[in-house]
Structure 1
Amino acid sequence: MRIATYEHRGSRRCGVVEGAAVRPFPDGTDLLGLLGSGGLADPPPAGAAVPLSEVRLLPPLRPPTVRDFVAFEEHVEGVRRSVDGAAGVPDAWYDAPTFYFTNPYAVIGPGDDVPMPPGSRALDFELEVAVVIGREGRDLTPEQARAHIAGYTLFNDWSARDLQSREMQVGLGPCKGKDTATTLGPYLVTPDELEPYRDADGLLRLALTAEVNGEVVGTDLLSNMSWTFEEMIAYASRGTWVRPGDVLGSGTCGNGGCLAELWGLRGERTPPPLRPGDTVTLTAEGIGAISNTVVPGTAPVAVPRGRRRDRSRP
């Protein structure tokens, strides 16, 4: 089953995608509400089908939290070289599937425009697949975690590389470098649809493709992840809760899953950073495609540099 959230004739609706049309759920139904009520496996009756050509697709859901992992070794190698000039993969990376929390308010739809982040001149895309949690759980094992997966969707972690490189020198990870936009879509695809792609290691062997202005710049397989989604969910739930609607990104795939990886490998910014007018299209086999165009953003609001204090005490 594929579930879409969309706008049609001024109304926000949610429904099941069937071919080139979507059958809406009753008014007021949304995906997060379905997940919270446990009703995704048995959705309410749907109304008359609406052609997808007549709707504007929105993010499948507004997630309460978004965790973004970094599960592709090849991506780490390339981006590390690009961002801070270091070679190889840190030993600590292999210890556990590391993630950071990103901004759920920055989520946009599969066809929405992406504004340039304020103050950035080095915008990049990141090709990922995300899993959406359907049942709450805590301290899950990887075996238990599979039953907590509601479905999968494409995930573009838009990144201002110049801002990211500077702020990560503080040692807390990215903030405004990742804060402007995160694309989710086009649909939530339930696990049964992707089960035929599962390999012997429990990974989904989905072909991934990244294009900029119609030119392919990256291809990979989702099965090149170093951890399964179930293992990442288990780690995320260690000592805390995962709850319905939580989104967990795979991290960026390798072999051109983002421009920064290519910059690190080539020693130059080829292809160049994204600029207004560029369109990025990401595709995942079995899930679909998302396509966003970069548009001008706003100027940054000035904030003073930190003040050096004399550290006087009472």
Structure 2
Amino acid sequence: MRIAHVFQLATSTPIVALERDGALYDVAELERHFGTKLADIPGVSDFHTRVVALRCAGLHALDDRLLSGDRPSSAQLPPDSILWLPPCASDRAAYIQLGPYAHDADRPWYRFGNSRALLGHAAAIPFPALEDEPAYELNLAALLCEDLRRATPDEVERAIAGYAVLNDWTARSIEARLLARGLPPSEAKDFATQLGPVLVTPDELGPVEVLRAQARVDADARSCSRVGEWTFSLAESIAYISNQVELRAGDVVGAGRVSGKIVDQHVPYGATVELMIERIGRIAGKPVRGPAPSPWRRR
């Protein structure tokens, strides 16, 4: 199943949608059309409620109708009627980013990112004004639908609601200055991270480690290895994190950047960057120079 989170311009509201063959279908309209009972439950159109708390209740039945060819035009969302949101509830999620780490590492490492800065597909990415080396990093991300504390990898697998493409945008020259001083790279990353375009449930993907990835910069394709060339599996890494902190349903975990030639790449401002993972989708973004910072203290 392929679940989208979009902002409907006509009603100024975020809604849950299902994607099939490149078309988006408003879940609430599908339920009205098919006469399902969930349509009348208060708050059921909220992404966190429907996808995380209710574990996609009723969505599989709607998706089966779409797969069978029953696709009501009244529920289809025209592309110019929506803005893409990240497929999570960013106001209720923690965002945790894994790796990368050396192949001889004995344990995963991770950092907490800025979930408030999660952006969706087709967004303009405002970089720090003084950054001259905007860069992208291709990741796979998992959305959790269960709380995890001291979990096993098997428990982690059962707790993953779905996967999405993640672009861990990085201000590379700022990152270099911070790392040279022994500081964490927060300023170089916390301004914006892209997640999307949709959340794809595990039953539709199979093993994610074998999925292939690709990046394009202004339609110039760049090659990459498979997604899962990690030192530790995603489930092992999340299990490790859950031994350090309690993870909550709705949290987003980035699996660590995909290895290969497409990572650690600088791009010019205004270029269109498209990151793709097979069977999940393509997320596009365009780096732009942000406004000059305001003084943060009196001199």
TM-score range, shorter chain: 0.7 to 0.9
- Separation of aligned partners in 1, 2:142 and 2:52: 16
TM-score (norm 2): 0.82
Q: Given the superposition, is the C-alpha separation of residues 231 and 35 from structure 1 closer, same or farther in structure 2, using an over 3 Å criterion?
A: same
TM alignment of 1:81-160, pairs within 5 A: 89=102, 91=104, 94-160=105-171
Q: Is the 8 A contact 1:125 1:159 kept in 2?
A: yes
The count of corresponding residues between Structure 1 and Structure 2 is 270
Q: Is the 8 A contact 1:123 1:158 kept in 2?
A: yes
Match of 2:84 in 1: 57
Identity %: 30
TM alignment of 1:144-293, pairs within 5 A: 144-195=155-206, 198=207, 204-260=209-265, 273-293=266-286
Q: Given the superposition, is the C-alpha separation of residues 36 and 211 from structure 1 closer, same or farther in structure 2, using an over 3 Å criterion?
A: closer
Q: Which amino acid aligns with 2:18?
A: V
- Separation of aligned partners in 1, 2:183 and 2:159: 30
Q: Given the superposition, is the C-alpha separation of residues 101 and 276 from structure 1 closer, same or farther in structure 2, using an over 3 Å criterion?
A: same
Structure 1 residue 250: Cα displacement: 1.3
Structure 1 residue 90: Cα displacement: 8.1
Q: Is the 8 A contact 1:208 1:222 kept in 2?
A: yes
Q: CA RMSD in A?
A: 2.4
Structure 1 residue 99: Cα displacement: 0.9
Structure 1 residue 298: Cα displacement: 0.8
Q: Is the 8 A contact 2:55 2:161 kept in 1?
A: no
Q: Given the superposition, is the C-alpha separation of residues 45 and 39 from structure 1 closer, same or farther in structure 2, using an over 3 Å criterion?
A: same
Q: Given the superposition, is the C-alpha separation of residues 304 and 164 from structure 1 closer, same or farther in structure 2, using an over 3 Å criterion?
A: farther
Q: Unaligned regions of 5+ residues in structure 1, if any?
A: 77-88, 261-272, 308-314
Q: 1:69 aligns with which of 98, 114, 136?
A: 98
TM-score (norm 1): 0.79
- Separation of aligned partners in 1, 2:237 and 2:199: 19
Structure 1 residue 238: Cα displacement: 0.5
Q: Give the match's secondary structure for 1:244.
A: coil
Q: Give the match's secondary structure for 1:144.
A: helix
Structure 1 residue 31: Cα displacement: 2.1
